[in-house]
Amino acid sequence: MESLMIYMPIAMAALGLIYMLIKQSWVLKQNAGDGRMKEISDYIYEGSLAFLNAEYRLLSIFVVVVSILLAIVSFVVPTTHWLIVIAFIFGAVFSAFAGNIGMKIATKTNVRTTQAAKTSLPNALKVSFGGGTVMGLGVAGLAVLGLTAFFIFFFWFFMDSSWTNTMDMTIVLETLAGFSLGAECIALFARVGGGIYTKAADVGADLVGKVEAGIPEDDPRNPATIADNVGDNVGDVAGMGADLFGSYVATVLAAMVLGNYVIKDMGGVITDAFGGIGPILLPMAIAGVGIIISVIGTMLVKIKSNDAKEPQVMGALNLGNWVAIALVALSCYGLVIWMLPDTMKMDFFGEGLQDISSMRVFYATLVGLFVGAMISSITEFYTGLGKKPILKIVQQSSTGAGTNIIAGLATGMISTFPSILLFAGAIWASYAFAGFYGVALAASAMMATTGMQLAIDAFGPIADNAGGIAEMSEQEPIVRERTDILDAVGNTTAATGKGFAIASAALTSLALFAAYVTFTGIDGINIFKAPVLAMLFVGGMVPVVFSALAMNAVGKAAMQMVEEVRRQFREIPGIMEGTAKPQYDKCVAISTDASLREMMLPGLLTIGFPLLIAFVPMIFGMNNLAIAEMLGGYMAGVTVSGVLWAVFQNNAGGAWDNAKKSFEAGVLINGEMTYKGSEAHMAAVTGDTVGDPFKDTSGPSMNILIKLTCLIGLVIAPILGGHTIETTGITANNIEVTENVSNTMEVEISTDGEQAQAVVMRTFTENGELKEDRTVLEGTPKEVKTAIENLKVK
Amino acid sequence: MESLMIYMPIAMAALGLIYMLIKQSWVLKQNAGDGRMKEISDYIYEGSLAFLNAEYRLLSIFVVVVSILLAIVSFVVPTTHWLIVIAFIFGAVFSAFAGNIGMKIATKTNVRTTQAAKTSLPNALKVSFGGGTVMGLGVAGLAVLGLTAFFIFFFWFFMDSSWTNTMDMTIVLETLAGFSLGAECIALFARVGGGIYTKAADVGADLVGKVEAGIPEDDPRNPATIADNVGDNVGDVAGMGADLFGSYVATVLAAMVLGNYVIKDMGGVITDAFGGIGPILLPMAIAGVGIIISVIGTMLVKIKSNDAKEPQVMGALNLGNWVAIALVALSCYGLVIWMLPDTMKMDFFGEGLQDISSMRVFYATLVGLFVGAMISSITEFYTGLGKKPILKIVQQSSTGAGTNIIAGLATGMISTFPSILLFAGAIWASYAFAGFYGVALAASAMMATTGMQLAIDAFGPIADNAGGIAEMSEQEPIVRERTDILDAVGNTTAATGKGFAIASAALTSLALFAAYVTFTGIDGINIFKAPVLAMLFVGGMVPVVFSALAMNAVGKAAMQMVEEVRRQFREIPGIMEGTAKPQYDKCVAISTDASLREMMLPGLLTIGFPLLIAFVPMIFGMNNLAIAEMLGGYMAGVTVSGVLWAVFQNNAGGAWDNAKKSFEAGVLINGEMTYKGSEAHMAAVTGDTVGDPFKDTSGPSMNILIKLTCLIGLVIAPILGGHTIETTGITANNIEVTENVSNTMEVEISTDGEQAQAVVMRTFTENGELKEDRTVLEGTPKEVKTAIENLKVK
């Protein structure tokens, strides 16, 4: 059993995907309605396909370019293997495929939900959540399947499927990082491009349709209305899916890298029932079990009564979610006890090697689950309807848009207080329990329920779309009432889902950051070195500028959309009377093109800066380890500032949105009930206009920015080259091998002060093949130093 | 001559203060007008005094509380001397006194400027800039006078006015840090409290006066109008003055601390003509010469033609400014060559001791002067009338307040790009030239023209007030035209002054940060340690929450003002007809009380967090050096995030302001000239409402937050205790003295691998008195280790 453990995650992923296929065929078998309903749904489906196809065309070019770059790097740098290119391409393809499944099922489920809402609310929930389940399990299943398959392959290819040493495993994991990089690049396109798409269409549709032409939202006479509905799917379904796909893969990968370093700290070899790689397999096992748990969780989401309201629907979702979290906690307990040595050794900075019991690793996973649950509550508190911060923004709307804006900004800013304290506490606690391995496993445990989380997230936009279709196809009011209940719940889950996404991005980045340091072999990132501090500043600035670029991109794309809608109203006679059809496809094309074009600059910023920091100083002959430390400073700056700006923008945007929505049911301002159409409501609408790109474009983009930055760092790490140089004991420092030895040598030195012993290991030949070459040097520190220097000359 | 050099800065400061007194009496001798003019001016003067008195009452309590805390600390901790309390009180008193001089002269000069404007523009400039000069030289003179006097006193008290060792000098400088802390605490009250005051009065006056009652700005019937004019003085004069006073003192102090470490790196003793303290005296000498240069600079500011317009006035200011900068560069060259050893040794992290020629220190000062000049240009580009970013915001105003807000936010955010790259480049370059001593001297050189800069800054609000008085006292149009020219120039200098203030705060914080690390004796701040990383996150969050609190404070205080103004309009009959006088003093009192009350929470946040981070883990028995490193991470987080948010908020606020002002002269939107009162203008007004607290309250407060955080860190540093433990060479690490030796021992260890030598120095007896106790230990590393451990038991 234990020896087959490496195949367990892949089997679980396969089971999850099979369940997904069954669910998919069930959803597709549901009645898709007819006439106007079907027509509108087809438009949305085709619009989504148009975006996907355009995205894939651009992606193909991008993937080819990056692949060539990676290939060149892998041939020039001996520690990087060309298989990273294959892993990269598959990472991109898997993520794109997962997005494809999600988009297709979402755009097929919407109309079926409308149809089901004609019969009963339980049915409508069953269908819409069924679609969400397909999306969730598709993403989680493909992520685990791809990552574990590649691990098994590389483990066989580089190590003949049995443990040799941590060096070889590092090569395996460095190559595997390509898969993660591919996935995150897709996320850049899906999340940032999708974010621009959805808001450009939304703002464009509103500005001309609602404001200028005076027709209601989702009116089929508005040429941009289909683009608007497509946008919901592009941004909220595909974007969120790709984001979590990337987090999932990166988290597990980082935990594996750190598991490898646990083995290293324990002397380079451990004996366990899992071929000596228990700490590396554990994160994969948690991910695998998480898929099955997600299946169970989704099965629990159902309601019986047709008279149910929001609380019952929310309750059903919560039940599934909490059971899933509890089951993950239980499984983590079992897996940790089973798979880890009872006591491990971990190297803590400044404290040396420490004994860590496996139970402490379990506690670290509990920290991760706690963060996942808490961040949702915090988000809910600052953005939920009827909560104090929202009521305050509503009050401030009475004195105009200016005070509404100030109140919304302040709410978003203050919400960073509990959020950041939560993250900081989580970093501290999980590290105190089990070092950075603990941090990475906290993230893994939190991400284990990704399938379930995504099902809940994707259900929202599906219900939203179903409502739109009901409106456009003029169904009976009861249908809209039922979809509205689902939609309202979906709005809440959308906000908490954003909280989950940023928490996952934050923990993932931290895990990647830790993996980066161990990959490069630097002995920390000292911000008291001025170049490192300078890069911390630059890193802190990038999320701010990125957000501004994303916001400006929405503005530019929306303006183009406005022009096009105006043109159609002007040039197509009979459009307002409903006798002529608008050219929906033109608007879809504009949103598609604009979003992909406008994401270039922020994308370039994201990818370009780490490359500049790594390679420009290299050209000027700067020491590689010094560069690695600078890049680490940059990564830390991006992560800290990115998390801050993500929380700030998401919550400010969410708060403005719900402050505006509060007016629909009426709010009490200065003792008077105030409704839609009042001055205060107009002020709240202005706030929402500002909040829209905050919460749907620039805010969520931060997730991708910070993860991609850390991933690029991780992929560059072997080029910066430290990882093969390890020095323990201080004499090594004294004889200065750290900075001079070539990349292809591993030197381990121990000393008792008078005597030194060095183990020098060369692992690669010059043409990049693996070859071990172990030399043991003994003598006084001076003698060892001379011996090593002689070796270097060879 | 050289031996008297220590008295040079104090002499220069005295000369500057004498010139200030002469200028002051000249200004006060000018005709102060009569009748209505004098009456209004008196109201403003009294309102300012009311604020100052209230501030001083609160300050006294605060100073007493902090003094008691400092006294307790100084008795408990042997490395902290009780004289720090005296230095603290004097720092607070000097800064408060400087603010007093500034406020008084500003409120006396305004009406004299109006009167002078009746005769000619050159006269008006002469009077208003004369007032600015008094303010500038008062601040700069008192800063240098206080700091150098205390240095001379402590140098005599602790070292008998002659060099002993770097340890003793560290005690001198640690005690001197009290002066800086006192100054910065006043700045907290003046800048944050003043920022809240000025905006509460402004918004309150506008909301009821302009919007509800429909009377123009500066109308004497508005009860809040005097508070509004007082606010200009409180925020822009006293706040800016206290801010720069604090920066000036802190910069020079940090440079002195780092100069002491240069001497340490050179073996603990240097021989020069300045009693062996040339590197420590240099920053004081630059500051002293800077005062005389500022006097020269202010003398150059004059115009001759009565037909002059803005460009001529601006040109006169620029001439003075540029000549001052050029003279500082020249003086730095001379002083560096004269006062520093030709070649110094400095310890660079990871690179060991390096030879640094004195010319490289001069280059570092040029970097500082370059930053000071460049940051003004960058600010001018993003916020200046007629510049591209402003025109874009104007265009975006045509589609409503929402798009105006987005454009303004985006402008502020993008402006961080060149600003942060400039700072990062400056850190890098000045460090590369001369280590952190170079960074601190770059800051010192930039701050040398503080007197001149403040004169230019303070001239703006004086001219603004003069215009207000002209309006309220219904002078002939030509008077208002002349003051308007001065006011327009003042608006530009206000924006660039904010740039200078944040640049100075950023460089000061970096210098303090560097001094902190050397004080604590930690070997860097490694953000790969999870607790340090967690604190980096927490530090990054604080400026965001601080800004939100400051913005909310403005909102609350403004609402109280609105209530009061409404009450007066309601309850005082004849107020609108001008037959009854409004109760100006009530409004002044509300603004005063509210501002001082509302600044408590952000103040507590600023002071509380570093204390919590330092002392809570201490209670739980955490290692002091580990705490020092965590606190360093927190300081770095606050600095990086604080600088970002300062630039973002200042520039967004400035951009919105000028976008609104653009409508006064008319702007071209979509081919149509658009003016005040248009829809687009209303949108721009909304933007300005948001921008007001950004640029005048929360943005400038960041300066204080980051400096005060780093200063508190510096004052806590000796308590954390590392500074007396210095280990060189790696054997020291091996025998683990760094973490176990008591605070009172200095251990220097060198080794060639087989043999070790340790110099152990005890400097304090248990009751805190100075006592040297030097022991040299030799032998194998093991023998030395045992010997040190035996010493520890004693």
Distances in Å between the Cα of B683 and the Cα atoms of A652, A656, B98, B622 are: 20, 18, 40, 55
DSSP element (H, E) containing A662: helix A624-665
pLDDT of residue A742: 38
Q: Which residue has the tokens 């939203």?
A: A464
Which residues 350-379 in chain B show a CB within 8 A of chain A?
A: 350
Which residues 595-654 in chain B show a CB within 8 A of chain A?
A: 626, 632-633, 636-637, 640-641, 643-644, 648
Q: Which residues of chain B have a CB within 8 Å of the CB of A787?
A: none
Does residue B72 surpass a pLDDT of 80?
yes
**Over residues A378-393, mean pLDDT:** 90
Of A400, A636, A730, the CB nearest to B536: A636
Does residue A588 surpass a pLDDT of 60?
yes
Chain A, chain B: beta-carbon pairs less than 8 Å apart: 253
Confidence label for B632 from pLDDT (cuts 50, 70 and 90) = very high
pLDDT of residue A399: 83
Q: Is any Cβ of chain A less than 8 angstroms from the Cβ of B730?
A: yes
Neighbours of A366 (CB within 10 A): 18
**Nearest residue in B to A348, CA atom:** B529
Reduce the secondary structure of B742-772 to three states and give it as a string: CCCEEEEEEECCCCEEEEEEEEECCCCCEEE
Q: Which residues of chain A have a CB within 8 Å of the CB of B439?
A: 530
pLDDT of residue A760: 62
Confidence label for B350 from pLDDT (cuts 50, 70 and 90) = low
The secondary structure of residue B761, as a DSSP letter, is E
Distance in angstroms (rounded) separating the CA atoms of residues B441 and B435: 10
Q: Which residues of chain B have a CB within 8 Å of the CB of A634?
A: none
Confidence label for A623 from pLDDT (cuts 50, 70 and 90) = confident
Of B531, B537, B648, the CB nearest to A640: B537
Taking an 8 Å cut-off on Cβ atoms, the answer to whether B545 and A406 are in contact is no
B753/B416: higher pLDDT:
B416
pLDDT of residue B337: 93
**Nearest residue in B to A687, CA atom:** B402
Quick check: B317 and B376 in contact, CB under 8 A? no
CA–CA min distance B480, chain A (Å): 30
Confidence label for A752 from pLDDT (cuts 50, 70 and 90) = low
Quick check: A596 and A55 in contact, CB under 8 A? yes
Q: Is any Cβ of chain A less than 8 angstroms from the Cβ of B425?
A: yes
Q: Is any Cβ of chain B less than 8 angstroms from the Cβ of A549?
A: yes
Q: Is any Cβ of chain A less than 8 angstroms from the Cβ of B679?
A: no
Closest C-alpha to B503, from B790, B251, B186: B251
The secondary structure of residue A580, as a DSSP letter, is S
CA–CA–CA angle B489, B490, B495 (5° rounding): 105
Q: Could you please report the per-residue DSSP string of A372-436?
A: HHHHHHHHHHHHSTTSHHHHHHHHHHTT-HHHHHHHHHHHHHHTHHHHHHHHHHHHHHHHHHHHH
Q: Is any Cβ of chain B less than 8 angstroms from the Cβ of A514?
A: yes
Taking an 8 Å cut-off on Cβ atoms, the answer to whether B633 and A436 are in contact is no
Does residue A727 surpass a pLDDT of 60?
no
Using DSSP bridges, classify how beta strands A770-779 and A756-764 pair: parallel, antiparallel or unpaired. antiparallel
pLDDT tens for A115-156 read: 999 999 999 999 999 999 999 999 999 999 999 999 999 999
Neighbours of B54 (CB within 10 A): 17
Distance in angstroms (rounded) separating the CA atoms of residues B73 and B83: 11
- Average pLDDT of chain A? 86
Q: Is any Cβ of chain B less than 8 angstroms from the Cβ of A699?
A: no
B144/A671: higher pLDDT:
B144
pLDDT of residue A756: 62
**What ipTM does the predicted assembly reach?**
0.88
Taking an 8 Å cut-off on Cβ atoms, the answer to whether B525 and A530 are in contact is no
CA–CA min distance A548, chain B (Å): 5
**Over residues B772-791, mean pLDDT:** 62
Taking an 8 Å cut-off on Cβ atoms, the answer to whether A544 and B421 are in contact is no
Closest C-alpha to A738, from A616, A619, A635, A623: A623
Which residues 748-767 in chain B show a CB within 8 A of chain A?
A: 751-754
Beta bridge partners of B668: B673
Which residues 156-195 in chain A show a CB within 8 A of chain B?
A: none
**Nearest residue in A to B526, CA atom:** A526
Q: Among the ranges A47-51, A393-397, B726-730, which has the highest mean pLDDT value? A: A393-397
Half-sphere exposure of B490 (CA within 13 A, CB side): 25
Q: Which residues of chain A have a CB within 8 Å of the CB of B202?
A: none
**Nearest residue in A to B419, CA atom:** A541
A534-548, B83-97, B546-560, B716-730: segment of lowest average pLDDT: B716-730
Taking an 8 Å cut-off on Cβ atoms, the answer to whether A529 and B534 are in contact is no
Confidence label for A729 from pLDDT (cuts 50, 70 and 90) = very low
Half-sphere exposure of B393 (CA within 13 A, CB side): 40
Q: Is any Cβ of chain A less than 8 angstroms from the Cβ of B526?
A: yes
A413-422, B410-419, B621-630: segment of lowest average pLDDT: B621-630
**Over residues A165-192, mean pLDDT:** 90
Q: Is any Cβ of chain A less than 8 angstroms from the Cβ of B541?
A: yes
The two three-digit tokens of residue B22, written as one number: 């002469």
pLDDT of residue A523: 77
**Over residues A88-96, mean pLDDT:** 94
Taking an 8 Å cut-off on Cβ atoms, the answer to whether B632 and A541 are in contact is no
Q: Among the ranges A77-81, A455-459, A499-503, B637-641, which has the highest mean pLDDT value? A: B637-641
Quick check: A183 and A143 in contact, CB under 8 A? yes
Does residue B789 surpass a pLDDT of 60?
no
**Over residues B648-657, mean pLDDT:** 93
The two three-digit tokens of residue B237, written as one number: 């004069």
CA–CA min distance A546, chain B (Å): 8
Of A552, A648, A753, the CB nearest to B410: A552
Taking an 8 Å cut-off on Cβ atoms, the answer to whether B528 and A549 are in contact is no
Q: Which residue has the tokens 């996973």?
A: A365
**Nearest residue in B to A435, CA atom:** B530
Strands laid side by side in the B756-764 sheet? B745-751, B756-764, B770-779
Taking an 8 Å cut-off on Cβ atoms, the answer to whether B432 and A530 are in contact is yes
Taking an 8 Å cut-off on Cβ atoms, the answer to whether A534 and B731 are in contact is no
Q: Is any Cβ of chain A less than 8 angstroms from the Cβ of B214?
A: no
- Is residue A103 packed enough to be buried (19+ CB in 10 Å), middle (13-18) or exposed (0-12)? buried
Q: Which residues of chain A have a CB within 8 Å of the CB of B545?
A: 413-414, 416-417
CA–CA min distance B582, chain A (Å): 24
**Nearest residue in B to A419, CA atom:** B541
Distance in angstroms (rounded) separating the CA atoms of residues A577 and A581: 10
pLDDT tens for A559-575 read: 888 888 888 888 888 88
Taking an 8 Å cut-off on Cβ atoms, the answer to whether B536 and A396 are in contact is no
Q: Is any Cβ of chain B less than 8 angstroms from the Cβ of A402?
A: yes
Q: Which residues of chain A have a CB within 8 Å of the CB of B423?
A: 534, 537
